[in-house]
Amino acid sequence: MDARELIARRVAQELRDNTLVNLGIGLPTLVAKFVPDDVRVFFQSENGIIGFGDRPPEGMEDVHLTDAGGAFVSAQPGAAAFDSATSFALIRGGHIDLTVLGGLQVDRSGRLANWIVPGKLVPGMGGAMDLVTGARRVIVAMNHTQKGEPKIVDKLTLPPTSERRVTLIVTDIAVLEPTHEGLVLKELAPGVEVEDVRGSTATDLIVRGKICKMRIGNEKLRSGLNGSAEK
């Protein structure tokens, strides 16, 4: 199991039955593969669909069925399509129960930066600002480091997506919960110790008592994941 799958499986454990969930571009879309058997969720995308599923088998793609990033998706029975104005009304109106987004940085107060790198060509903000502000819960799914540099920092050096604190941060080595006191270390990936997380984080962490191992569902993981952190 690689790092991306580990993150997606852990995020999937946060899904709740009969909820409306938005998945951001990239790694967050993998969460659709690992929905627990006893949970029924309705995935929403900014381009105007509710009820999409995982990428269809090769050769079964439909050019009219994509997520906000243009990746092919499948449509579940009962799926609905509508214009982007309606889609953003759902987001801005506070009707999205959970959004899962990628991240470039998160700071000690739980602020996310994920929409622009000054001077570099990136896809753009999409619905990120609306989602972080409007969704009831916000989970950031990302690698803990990028080319050896920590992505969890004391203060953002990139423009923030929103001033609102995110709900949870799930990386390839840990699960962190932003609070008014700071970032609380909640779980560790298999084979990872507290000091490993501290060494890969550019801000202080709050560690209370014994830290649980990361919850990823029924499948057992071997210690030492493939690509457990980007170096």
User: Of 206, 207, 201, nearest to 229 (Cα)?
Assistant: 201
What values do phi and psi take at 183, rounded to 5?
A: -90, 120
Q: Residue 112 corresponds to which tokens in the numbers above?
A: 């996310």
Q: Yes or no: say if 134 and 98 are a contact pair by the CB < 8 Å rule.
A: no
User: Of 153, 98, 158, nearest to 125 (Cα)?
Assistant: 158
219 is catalytic: no
Active-site residue (options: 5, 46, 163, 219): 46
DSSP annotation string for 85-127: HHHHHHHHTT--SEEEE--SEEETT--EE-S--TTS-----TT
Active site residues: 46
